[in-house]
Copies of this chain bind each other. A is one copy, B any other.
Amino acid sequence: MSSPAPGLREQRKARTRKAIQEHALRLFLADGYDATTVERIASAAGVSHMTFFRYFPSKEAVVENDEYDPMLVELIRAQPAGAGPLTALRNAVVGGIREVYATDKDALLVRTRLILTTPALRGRQWRNAESTQALFAEALATRADGGTTFELRVLAAAVLGALSTALAEWAEGDGADDLPTLMDRAFDALAHLDS
């Protein structure tokens, strides 16, 4: 990633981007996703709707937060070589989430609930999961884990399904449960599928 130069322009862009995102989330929570037009978000953030689309490719994209993927890939690669692929994924993901959870818990809950209750966002979410699946499978492959490419893809897909379920369960319970614990339980279930 590049911070090419902290010039005035970059600072201003970062501020504009953040303003759009914050106003968008605020309005989504207040009035609902569908009832909030891009025009309204833009004017709340003090820009034109064209500028909105220059910062975010779509109305859906303003809710996303894909910053975790690269970190998780790093963590997967860093797992000791002896562990099996499921164990490696488990330790990497649960460890990574634990950190995110400690600092961004509330924001994560708000965003997750919004996504779960908005059909358009749910679809988007799953589409992202597909690229995450590919990243995970690739990271496992470079770790020289056993199994064919196909098997690693299946593994990554199964893990993502399990993680999504944990996240959904957590959000449905309004964040009362401990998310890393739920994810651990999800991984336990994966390890003993035919209980």
Number of copies: 2
A87 within 8 A of B: yes
Q: Provide the A146-162 mask, 1 if CB < 8 A to any CB of B, else 0.
A: 11001101110111111
Residues of B close to A86: CB separation below 8 A? 193-194
Q: Are B191 and A85 closer than 8 Å at their CB atoms? A: no
Q: Determine the main DSSP class of A at the interface with B.
A: helix
Partner of A153, one of B85, B122, B169: B169
- Given A154-B162, A161-B160, A147:B85 Cβ within 8 A: no
Q: Are A150 and B165 closer than 8 Å at their CB atoms? A: yes
- Whose C-beta in chain B lies nearest to the C-beta of A129? B126
Residues of A whose CB lies within 8 Å of any CB of B are 84-87, 119, 122-127, 129-130, 133, 145-147, 150-151, 153-155, 157-162, 164-166, 169, 182, 185-186, 189-191, 193-195
